[in-house]
C-alpha cells in the first residue's frame, strides 16, 4: 500500500498517485458500480419528474416564497396565514430547536440525578430508580407521548387549574409557568450579568492556562447559571410574572401549550433513562481499586468523585451522551403525532398543500443532516478537551 512512500525518492508522490492510492484496487469495477448506482438514481429521478409533470407540479424551490395559507399553532416568531413558506419552515425549525434544547437540558438534569441515585447504597431507592429506568426504556416513545398528551388534555379547565406550590398551574389550556420579562429588567441587572459572564470567561482562561482540574470549570459554570437565573430578582416584582387565576382564565406567566408540554416531558423522561444508564456505566467504568487507592491517600468521598472518578467517567460519558442528544433531536420529530408544529409537521403540511413533496422532504433531510453535523462537531470539540485534560492521549 505504501510502496511509493517507503522508498526515498527524488519526488514525492504526485497528486495523481495519491488519488490512485485513495481509490484503491480495481478502479474500473468501482467506477462501473458507481455509474450503475448513479443510473439508478437518474432513473428514479426521471420517474419522479414524470409523475410531477402528470400531476401538474413544477419542480423547483419557487414555492418557498409563495404564500402559505395555513396557520401554525405556536411559534418562537410570529406566523400568520399568507406568510411565505420559507417562514413557515423557519417557524417549524425554531419549534424543533426549542423543544430539543430544553429537552436536552431537562433530560441531562434528570438523567444525572437518576444515574447517581441508581448507585445509592439504599436498596429501596435503587429499586425504584431501576424500575423507572426499565419501564421508560422498554416502552416506545410514541406510546409515552400519547400518554403525556392524554394527561395534558385531561387537566381541569383553567378555573380549577391544579397548582404546584402556586408556581406552576396545570390546566387543559396549557401549563402556566412563571416568566421573566427581559424588557422590565433594570440596567443594574444587565450590568451585573455582564460582569458575571466576564468573570466566568476570565476564570476559564486561567483554568486553561494553569491546567486547573475540570471540576473547577464545571462548578464555575453551574454557579454562573445559578446566579444568572437569580438575576431577575433584582428587578423586584415587576420583572417577574407569576401565573394566577383571574376570573375564568389564567393571567401572567408564560403558557406552554399542552402539546409542547407533553412533548417536552416525554422527551425529557425518555432520554433521562438513557442518560441515567450512561452516567451509571461511566461511574462504574472507573475501577474499584481507584476508589480504594484514593481513600488510602486520605481523600474524602467528594474529592475522590471530583478529582479521580469524574474526570475518567466523563471520558466514557461524553461520547455516549452526544449520541443520546442526537437521538433526542431526531426523536423530537414525533411531535407530528401529537400535534406540536415542529419541523416535520410543517414540512408535511407544506408537502400536502403544494404537492412539492420531493423538495420539501429534501429540505427536511438537509436540515437534519446539518443539525446533526453541527451537534456532533460541538460535542467532538468538547470531547477532545475532556480526553486531553487527563493527560492521556487517545
Partner 1 sequence: MSADIDAGLVRPPLRRFSPARVFYRLFGTPLNAAISLGVLLALAFVVPPLLRWALWDATFSGTAQDCAARSGACWAFIGNKLRFILFAFYPPELQWRPALVVGLILGLIGFSLWPRLWSARLLVVWPLVLGLCWLLLSGIVVSPRVSSNQWGGLPVTLFVWSTCFAASFPLALGFALLRRSRLGLLRIFAVAFIEGMRATPMVAILYVAMLIVPMALPGGAFLDKTVRAMIMITLFWSSYLAEVLRAGLQTIPRGQEEAASALGLGYWRTMQMIVLPQALRVVIPGIVNLAIGFLLATSLLAVIGIFDILNAARAAAIDPQWLGFYDEAYLLVGVIFLLLCTAGSRYSRWLERRLAVASH
Alpha helices, H only, the chain: 3-6, 15-23, 27-54, 85-117, 123-137, 141-153, 187-210, 214-230, 258-284, 288-296, 301-303, 310-331, 335-338, 343-354, 357-389
Helices (H), 27-84: 27-54
Smallest distance, Å, CB 150 to partner 1? 5
- Selected from 5, 12, 47, 384, the binder of partner 1 by CB under 8 A is 47
Widest CA span of the chain, in angstroms?
Answer: 90
Q: Applying CB under 8 A, which of residues 52, 189, 231, 286 lies at the interface with partner 1?
A: 52
- Please give the angle made by the CA atoms of 26, 32 and 38, to the nearest 5 degrees: 135
| CB 323, min distance to partner 1, A | 10
User: Does position 22 bind partner 1 by CB under 8 A?
Assistant: yes
Binding marks (x or -) toward partner 1, 131..170, rule CB under 8 A?
---xx-xxxxxxx--xx--x--------------------
Cβ contacts of residue 289 below 8 Å, gap of 6+? none
- By beta-carbon proximity to partner 1, the closer residue of 62 and 134 is 134
- With beta carbons less than 8 A apart as the criterion, state whether 276 and 114 touch: yes
Among residues 71, 195, 225, 369, which is the contact residue for partner 1, using CB under 8 A? 369
Burial class (CB in 10 A: 0-12, 13-18, 19+), 187: exposed
322 lies in the site for partner 1, by CB under 8 A: no
Closest separation between CB of residue 170 and partner 1, Å?
Answer: 17
Residue 123 in the binding site for partner 1 (CB under 8 A):
yes
- Segments in 247-342 forming alpha helices (H): 258-284, 288-296, 301-303, 310-331, 335-338
Distance from C-alpha of 316 to C-alpha of 284, rounded to nearest angstrom: 10
Task: From 75-83, 171-179, 229-237, 364-372, give the range in contact with partner 1 by CB under 8 A.
Answer: 364-372
Q: Which region among 64-72, 190-198, 300-308, 333-341 touches partner 1 (by CB under 8 A)?
A: 333-341
Q: 103-119 b/e with 16+ CB inside 10 Å = b?
A: bbebbbebbbebbebbe
Cell readout for 41 is: 438514481
Residue 141 or 294: the one with the smaller Cβ distance to partner 1 is 141
CA 300 to each of CA 112, 286, 293: distance values in angstroms, whole numbers, following the listed order: 21, 17, 12
336 lies in the binding site for partner 1 (CB under 8 A): yes
Q: Hey, CA dihedral for 240, 244, 248, 254, is it positive or negative?
A: positive
Q: Interacting stretch for partner 1, rule CB under 8 A, among 5-13, 50-58, 241-249, 296-304? A: 50-58
Binds partner 1 (CB under 8 A): choice among 102, 196, 281, 337: 337
* 67 makes contact with partner 1 (CB under 8 A): no
And the C-alpha cell for 204? 476559564
Q: Output the smallest distance, CB 301 to partner 1, in A.
A: 12
Considering only residues 259 through 288, tell me which ones interact with partner 1, judged by CB under 8 A: 288
- When the beta carbons of 132 and 200 are compared against partner 1, the nearer one is 132
Q: Can residue 221 be called a binding residue for partner 1 (CB under 8 A)?
A: no
Among 177, 361, 379, 386, binds partner 1 (CB under 8 A): 361
CB nearer partner 1, residue 172 or residue 372: 372
Q: Which listed residue (17, 71, 229, 365) binds partner 1 by CB under 8 A?
A: 365
Q: Which of 165, 148, 136, 144 is nearest to 257 (CA)?
A: 148
Give the residue with the Cβ less far from partner 1, 148 or 260. Answer: 148
Nearer to partner 1, 175 or 375 (CB): 375
Q: Check residue 19 and report its DSSP letter.
A: H
What number of chain residues touch partner 1 (CB under 8 A)? 60
CA 178 from centre of chain: 23
Contact stretch for partner 1 (CB under 8 A) within 18-26, 196-204, 207-215, 241-249: 18-26
Give the Cα separation of 22 and 4 in Å (integer): 13
Q: Note the residues at the interface with partner 1 (CB under 8 A).
A: 1, 22-27, 30-31, 33-34, 37, 44-45, 47-48, 50-52, 54, 120-125, 128, 134-135, 137-143, 146-147, 150, 288, 330-331, 333-334, 336-337, 344, 347-348, 351, 357-358, 361, 364-365, 368-369, 371-373
Amino acid at each position: 500500500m505504501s510502496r511509493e512512500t517507503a522508498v526515498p525518492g527524488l519526488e514525492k508522490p504526485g497528486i495523481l498517485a495519491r488519488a490512485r492510492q485513495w481509490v484503491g484496487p480495481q478502479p474500473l469495477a468501482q467506477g462501473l458500480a458507481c455509474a450503475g448506482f448513479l443510473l439508478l438514481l437518474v432513473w428514479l429521478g426521471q420517474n419522479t419528474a414524470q409523475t410531477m409533470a402528470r400531476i401538474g407540479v413544477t419542480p423547483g424551490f419557487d414555492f418557498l416564497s409563495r404564500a402559505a395559507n395555513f396557520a401554525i399553532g405556536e411559534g418562537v416568531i410570529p406566523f400568520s396565514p399568507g406568510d411565505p413558506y420559507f417562514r413557515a419552515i423557519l417557524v417549524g425549525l425554531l419549534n424543533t430547536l426549542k423543544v430539543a434544547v430544553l429537552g436536552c437540558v431537562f433530560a441531562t438534569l434528570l438523567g444525572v440525578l437518576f444515574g447517581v441515585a441508581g448507585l445509592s447504597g439504599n436498596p429501596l431507592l435503587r429499586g425504584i430508580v431501576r424500575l423507572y429506568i426499565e419501564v421508560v426504556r422498554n416502552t416506545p416513545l410514541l406510546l409515552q407521548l400519547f400518554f403525556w398528551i392524554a394527561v395534558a388534555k385531561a387537566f381541569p379547565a383553567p378555573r380549577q387549574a391544579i397548582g404546584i406550590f402556586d408556581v406552576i398551574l396545570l390546566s387543559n389550556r396549557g401549563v402556566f409557568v412563571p416568566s421573566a420579562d427581559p424588557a422590565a429588567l433594570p440596567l443594574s441587572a444587565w450590568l451585573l450579568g455582564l460582569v458575571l459572564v466576564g468573570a466566568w470567561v476570565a476564570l476559564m482562561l486561567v483554568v486553561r492556562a494553569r491546567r486547573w482540574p475540570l471540576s473547577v470549570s464545571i462548578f464555575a459554570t453551574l454557579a454562573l447559571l445559578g446566579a444568572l437565573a437569580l438575576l431577575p430578582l433584582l428587578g423586584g416584582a415587576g420583572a417577574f410574572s407569576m401565573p394566577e387565576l383571574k376570573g375564568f382564565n389564567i393571567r401572567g406567566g408564560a403558557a406552554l401549550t399542552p402539546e409542547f408540554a407533553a412533548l417536552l416531558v416525554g422527551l425529557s423522561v425518555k432520554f433521562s433513562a438513557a442518560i441515567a444508564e450512561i452516567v451509571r456505566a461511566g461511574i462504574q467504568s472507573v475501577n474499584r481499586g481507584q476508589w480504594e487507592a484514593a481513600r488510602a491517600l486520605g481523600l474524602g468521598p467528594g474529592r475522590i468523585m471530583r478529582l479521580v472518578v469524574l474526570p475518567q467517567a466523563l471520558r466514557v460519558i461524553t461520547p455516549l451522551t452526544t449520541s443520546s442528544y442526537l437521538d433526542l433531536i431526531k426523536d423530537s420529530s414525533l411531535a407530528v403525532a401529537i400535534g406540536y408544529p415542529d419541523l416535520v409537521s410543517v414540512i408535511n403540511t407544506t408537502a400536502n398543500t403544494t404537492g412539492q413533496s420531493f423538495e420539501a422532504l429534501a429540505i427536511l433531510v438537509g436540515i437534519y443532516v446539518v443539525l446533526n453535523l453541527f451537534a456532533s462537531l460541538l460535542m467532538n470539540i468538547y470531547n477532545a478537551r475532556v480526553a486531553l485534560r487527563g493527560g492521556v492521549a487517545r
